[in-house]
Chains A and B, each alone.
Chain A
Amino acid sequence: MAEDDPLEPTGIDAGSGRATDHDQYLSVDDVPDIAPTAELSWRTRIIESIPAKRRALKYVVAITIAVLWIVPFIGLFMASIRPLSEIIGGWWHLEGMTVTFENYYRAWNYSTAPMGQALLNTFIVTIPAVLVVMLLGVMAAYPFARFEFPLKTTLFFLILLVMAAPPELIAMGNFNALREFGLFDTYMGLILIHIGWGLGWVVLFLRNYLLGIPEELEEAARIDGASRYQIFRTIILPLSTPALVSVAVIQFTWVWNAFFFPLVFMRSPELYLAPQVLPLMRGRVQVEWGLIAAGSIMTMAVPVLLFLFLERYYKRGMVAAVAD
């Protein structure tokens, strides 16, 4: 087949030379860009399916970089399933490898704060902190997107300021407040702090999303006599589901991964959260790599799996949250 020359007329315009081969012309849209694959010889098909040299090189570089990027995590995983002596000898030596789940067993029952309990605690804190933020966030975002009300700009500015603030800035005030309320060193205290801290970005994020929903839908419902609450429940909530899933995934990851807040507000070992336990496993003389690795794998498994399953929502949310 000849190279596709943009100057050479094709299809109907291709002139009599080619047209005489057929009884009927195809319409312009029906003319395929290339010959049907079946008409090409096997040789051509194989050659064409292999990318050109430059492109092949690009694949090699890209895949190499991507694999190198996760080597540290592969090392962590290898350390988690091997005995300490083999880890110290280097996890990359594969000969004579012993696979053991001893590290996971020991981490799960770790004496200071068992990982089993710590993971449970992390779920107990994370799940309400995510669900409440989603509900209160979308409720507060709705007026920001649709209504005019006094102090709107001031509130907006406050939310932005809080989003820029480091978590350390609210630790001192909340420490004193929680002790005052008797909520210090309780699940409830940490949950409330995560809700208060997460609401800022969630309201802003959902407001931006709601601004993109056409107002005519609500207008129509209003004419039919729906109240503001009915409109919110039957139109706004269902339409904002994709954004709410993004909020859920990102907020879940944030709360689950948080280290500073639990470190400050959870003091009893039986209430420790998983990220909080990991640095304690370091040991005094010889670093217990196997124990740390097993604990780390268990802790990171939840947000990583969540990311892999809901990758689309996670990425879209991440981009929208910072780009809007």
Chain B
Amino acid sequence: MSLQDHIDGITVDRDEGGLLDIDREKAVALAVFLVPGLTLFGIFSVAPIVYSVFGSFFSWDTFTLESFVGLDNWIRSLTDQLIIHWPNMQELRYPMGALTHNLLWVVIHVPASTFLGLGLALLFADLKGRRFLRSMIFVGFTVPPIVIGLVLMFIYDPRAGLFNEVLRVLGQEQWVRNWTQSPQVAIYALIAGGIWVHTGFSMLLYSSALSAIDPSLLESAKVDGAGAWRRFRDIIWPLVRPVTAVVVIMGIIWVMRMFDIVYAAGGAAGGPNHAYSVLGIEVYRAAFRPPIDYGMAMVVALVQLFIVAPLALYIARMN
């Protein structure tokens, strides 16, 4: 009897004999492996989400559930000027509402950090010491975001800040100001800081995609006389395009979760007169700062989820 037959024999034995027995053994094993992790996951992650979905249709007495109110919380929250401020939006004046600010982050931050990340990945791709250069760009992503927010406050300080010193050196004194506390420009100053931190992450993803490209492919294109642009368009881009979807979606998720940087620069109010508040800040203030409005906090947090959930499922479907 060959070894293969022997193995087949065992498999057949297992399949035919004592099906129930094996099933019980498997069920016990499954429980041992899954239950501890899934219990904690269920209690502390899934249950609170279900609780928020459920609670968003009820009125609250601070932290206590009261009575069913239908879509009341939803209508009240989505028409709140803290979330969407229509009059100011028409005049392009901040604050425009947290949701608008978040979308502005998406529109400016995500393309900028994606392009910069791709550019730096291409620039560093064939240099000696590229690992070190990449680490210098990436290290900001490992720093606590609250520190990033404080660093931004420091850079934009009117006297001690480097940014204003650069403006003074360039002779642009009229622009010198406390950037994080000036309502009409602060959000752009913070977005610039967000791009600074997040570009390292985009660059890392692009770098790993670039290193998977066969160098001989590029070499032969070079020999055939393809210029740098042609090589990028015809060889590199088609191969890194799938990564771009991931980079963009991760960027959107990161921006929609923005909290620490805004809190560091503007406190729980999200800047002077909520000038650059984001949805996360509004959830925190509604839920944990008096006057407490649990219903609104739940609605706003769910809005955050609704915006990113389809994107996350898209990434999952892609593979």
A173-B37 contact in complex given A143-B30, A168-B259, A324-B319, C-beta closer than 8 Å: no
A200 CB contacts on chain B under 8 angstroms? 41, 45
Given the contacts A140-B33, A143-B33, A323-B243, A169 and B301 also touching, CB distance less than 8 Å = yes
Chain B contact residue count (CB 8 A cutoff): 95
Contact with A along B130-170 (1 / 0, CB 8 A): 01010111111011111101111111010110100100000
Cβ contacts under 8 Å, A72 to chain B: 151-152, 154-155, 162, 196
Report the Cα distance A62→B33, complex, angstroms.
48
Cα-based distance from A197 to B93 in the complex (angstroms): 37
Interchain CA distance A187-B133 in the complex, whole Å: 38
Q: B12: CB under 8 A from chain A? A: no
A155 CB to closest chain B CB (Å) equals: 7
**Residues A75 and B263 in contact in the complex (CB < 8 Å), given A164-B308, A229-B29:** no
Q: Per-residue 0/1 for B179-206: is the Cβ within 8 Å of any A Cβ (1 yes, 0 no)?
A: 0000000000000000010000100110
By a CB distance below 8 angstroms, the chain A residues around B196 are: 69, 72
| Contact A263-B284, Cβ < 8 Å, known A58-B127, A228-B29, A278-B147 | yes
Chain A CB within 8 A of B107 CB:
no
How many Å lie between the Cα of A279 and that of B36 in the bound state? 36
Encoded as 1 (CB less than 8 Å from any A CB) or 0, chain B from 290 to 316 comes to: 000010011011101100110111011
Contact A168 B301 (CB under 8 A): yes
Residues 161-187 of A contacting B (Cβ, < 8 Å): 161-177, 179
Given that A65-B120, A168-B280 are contacting pairs, would A196 and B40 also be in contact in the complex, using a CB cutoff of 8 Å?
yes
Interface SS of chain A: helix, strand, loop or mixed?
Answer: helix
Interface residues of B in 243-290 (CB under 8 A from A): 243, 246, 250, 253, 256-257, 259-260, 263-264, 267, 279-280, 283-284, 287-288
Shortest B272–chain A CB gap in Å is 15
Residue B44 CB within 8 A of the other chain: yes
A195 & B155 in contact (Cβ 8 Å cutoff) = no
Question: Contacting A61 at CB < 8 Å: which of B44, B123, B260, B298?
Answer: B123
Q: With contacts A164-B311, A289-B160 known, is A322 near B45, CB below 8 A? A: no
Q: CB of B26 within 8 A of chain A?
A: yes
Return A295 CB to nearest CB of chain B, in Å. 9
- Interface assignment of A296: CB less than 8 Å from any CB of chain B: yes
A67 at the interface (CB under 8 A from B): yes
CA A70 – CA B197 in complex, angstroms?
10
- List B contacts of A293 (CB < 8 A): 154
A113 neighbours in B (Cβ, 8 Å): none
Quick one: which of A71, A168, A278, A315 contacts B283, CB cutoff 8 A? A168
Partner of B124, one of A62, A88, A162, A257: A62
| Chain B residues in 8 Å Cβ range of A92 | 162, 165
Residues of the A chain whose Cβ atoms lie less than 8 Å from the Cβ of B149 = 279
The listed residue (B135, B150, B259) touching A292 by CB distance below 8 A is B150
Given A61-B123, A161-B309, A176-B63, verify A199-B133 contact (CB < 8 Å): no
* A–B complex contacts, Cβ < 8 Å, 8 sampled: A69-B137, A140-B36, A165-B304, A166-B279, A177-B47, A195-B44, A296-B147, A315-B138
Can you add 8 more A-B contacts, CB < 8 Å, to A142-B33, A169-B48?
A72-B155, A92-B162, A140-B33, A175-B63, A275-B144, A300-B144, A300-B147, A319-B208
